[in-house]
Structures are given as C-alpha cells and as structure tokens.
Structure 1
Amino acid sequence: MLRRFAGATTIVSALDHALPQPDQLCGPFSASVALTAVMGDDAPGVTALAVASRSAIWPGAIDSARPPGTPRITDGWDLLPRAASIDAAGTTAAGLTEGIETATDHRVAVVPIVGPSVERLRLLLDRLADGPFRFASLANVHTAELTDFDWNVGHFVTVWGFDPVEDVVAIADTYRELGDPDMPPGCRTVSTDALASAMSERGLLLIVDSQDHHAAVDLVRSLDLRHDVWSV
C-alpha cells in the first residue's frame, strides 16, 4: 500500500494547478511545488526560485530537453540570465539548494543527500513516511532511468510517497504527459531501484522547516547517508 507522505495532498493539488514547467526550469518548478508541503500558500513561485537559484537560460529551442509532444513554455525567462552554452543551461543542485533557502527567507533548510544506494533509499523513505517532521523531497535524476521513451536529460521531480510492499516510489513530474492515468495529474510510481539508479551521480534534496534542520541532518547521518551537494 502506498504510504503518502505528510503534505502529499497539498503537493499533488499544487502540481495540478502549476503544470507544465517552464522550459529549462524543472528545478525551480519542482521546488515550488514541493515547498507547498512545508510552507503552504507561502511557497515562493517558480520565477522567484529561479532567480534566487541563479538559473540560466539557453535562449534557443532545445526540443530534446522536453519529453516528446510536450509544450515549450518560456514564462519567467525575461528575468533570468542567458547561459554560456546549452550544457550550462538550467539549475545546479548547489544553486537550487541555496535558492530555496534564500527565496524562503531561510524559513526552510535544505539537506542534500548524495546518490543514496537503493537499500539506504528504502530506509530513508520508510523513516520519512513515519512523519518525524514536516518535509518535502526533490530527486535530481537522469531521465533515461525513469522513462520508456527517448528522453535523456538531468531533471528534478518531487517525491511524495513510498510503497514498501510493491517497492515503488510516488513522484510528481513536471508535465501532465508523464503522469499515470490512474494517479493525480503529472504523477506516477517508479521502482525504488530505478529511482536510486537515476540518482546515482546526483541525489536527493530534503527540505524541512528551519527548526527541524538538526533533526533532519541527524536522521540522514543515522542512516549512513552522505550529506553533501553533488556537482552534476
């Protein structure tokens, strides 16, 4: 049975209203959706998070950056700097970590976790499902591991539930087209193995109320997870 994290209902509702993401801004988009689980209506918008995260935009169309058949949206681009190259476009994990804390006036803290193994990921998700504190989580993934079509980019998704029996994780993606018809818009489940593999060179951002920062770090360390930011 899927264990929905505290705040999951808020996340899927916010996602339904926000879809789809602006091009090249999956990180700020997913962060804006995820933050509703911690901050409710006070969660900052996509553009504010992108500015705070120092996101950069490649001004030309990059069709390969989107799943086939999804729309090109450029909302907020006029407020963002241009990237020096296509490869430099988007938002880094370090930038998003800092941007989330800055855009929320440090009301939340971000605990980055580098490439958890599948065993450690299961333990973490199971502990988080027990609701030790209010939180949200973003997975920075390589899409090739999570889709059955030709889409191969770095990407951010929101994690909002875990089924330890079926060994699957519920994620909120950034396009309606990536959702399962039997789940809320833009949402689907992926195997825990696939999610861990997709994060192997990346990781997970655990977002908590600032007063719960130490508790979140203690939880991460108790599970022998690596608390650090990745460079991809």
Structure 2
Amino acid sequence: MKKINIGIGIILLALVGCSALDKQSEEERILLPTVTPKAHDVKISTMIEGEFIPQTDIIHTGQNVSQVETGITEVKLNGIDQVNIGYKQVRNGLAYNGKSTTPFTGTFVTLVGVHKLYTEDYKNGKLNGYKMWFSEAGRTGMKEPYVNGVKNGIQETYFRNTGNIRSRINYVGGRISGEVEWYDNYGGILSKEYLKNGTGPWKSYWDNGKIKDKGNLVGGLPNGEWRTYTQKGELEKITIYKNGSTVSQEWMK
C-alpha cells in the first residue's frame, strides 16, 4: 500500500514544482473524478501526469486540425505561450522551455492527439495560475490555483459527465485551511468540514456520493485511524497512521 504521505491534507504540497512526468499523487487518486469512460474519453482518475504525451508535438489551439498537423511545437494563444510539456525542464527550482536560459512564462500542455489533457501556468519559472486536468472531450476534471509555486486558493473538482462541481477545498500556503465542501452530482451538499493549517477531519467521496476515505489530519498529515470504502459503501480497509506514516493496515476483503 502506498502511504498517503502527502497527507491528503497537505496533499498537493508535494506537487509544488513537480514535473508532469511524475507519477500520480495520492490526492489526484482521491480527488479526480471517476466515471465510466465513454468512447474517445480519457480516464482522468487513473491518469499519471505525462503518461499520455503522444509522439507528436501538435498543440490544439482551436485551429483547423489539418493546419496544426504540420508539427507545431510552440504557439501563442491569446498572447500566452503554449508549449508541449515534453519540453519542460526544471533547473534550480525554476521551469524552462527546453534549453532556454530564461525562466518560462506561459503554459505547459500535456496532449492526447490534438487535445489538451493537462496544463500548468507559469510566470518567471514558477507556478502562477492553475494546474488543470481535462478529459479528451474537453471537460475540466480538476483545477488548482498556485501563487509563486505554492498552492493558494480554492481547488475545485468536477463531475466529468455533467461538469457540475464535485468539491471545493481551500488552500493557504500549500495546506488545507478553511472549508472543505463535497457535492453530489445534482448540486446537493454531501459534507462541509473546516480545517485550520492542515488540521481537522477529512472525508472524500466516490462519484456516486458514497464515502471513499475518512480520517483526521494533523498538520497536513494523516493521523490515527483512517477508513477506506468501496464504491458500494463497504468497508475495504482500516489504516492506522502516525504523522503520515503507516503503523498498521487491516484489509476487510
């Protein structure tokens, strides 16, 4: 079992400055929507960042596809550089476009064919703006705000089949601090919790509204007993944590 060592509370702090070629974080596993994939759709919930980078350098900008298929590697959209994330390099904590010596300002893009799947906004080499995940159909799965490389603001996830809001989680300085709200696919509130500096009760939900994980965070790390459930609502396992590390784990099935 992979530890929830990013803390589900500090959850995406481990993602700050993270390359889109890194493996999926625990928070992405927990927060990104899971729905039955349709034809030509990408299953965001199990997506590893960068996994679907194609062999082409095409970037979809709303242009005619036949024009784009000439092998464009970099374009401007509304005055902002759009660059295939395969060219992203991180040196001394700053992101660059390939071998450029100027810290990158613009958006790195992960593609499936000619469709954006994932984007990262940068200013002067640091995350400033949003990280965003999309289905191939163009629906937003999750977006999270960054200021100078640190997550600040309200992270939102969405149901891909409807586009309705799924969760709102407030971050301050990279940690959950403030309200955590979860909704069903009809806009009804499932739960509302309040955490301060990464400390407080945590719950996450499956798309069908049933609880997926629940436990307590202390300083952004899971502590004590955490329960994980199947999509049918059955208890799957009980994990005991101490400061984010697994002490014991019992599988029910």
Work out whether the TM-score is over 0.5.
no
TM-score, normalised relative to structure 1: 0.29
Bigger strand fraction:
2
Structure with the bigger RCO (C-alpha within 8 Å, sep 6+) is: 1
With structure 2 as the length reference, what TM-score do the two structures score?
0.27
Q: Which has the higher helix share?
A: 1
| Bigger Rg, structure 1 or 2 | 2
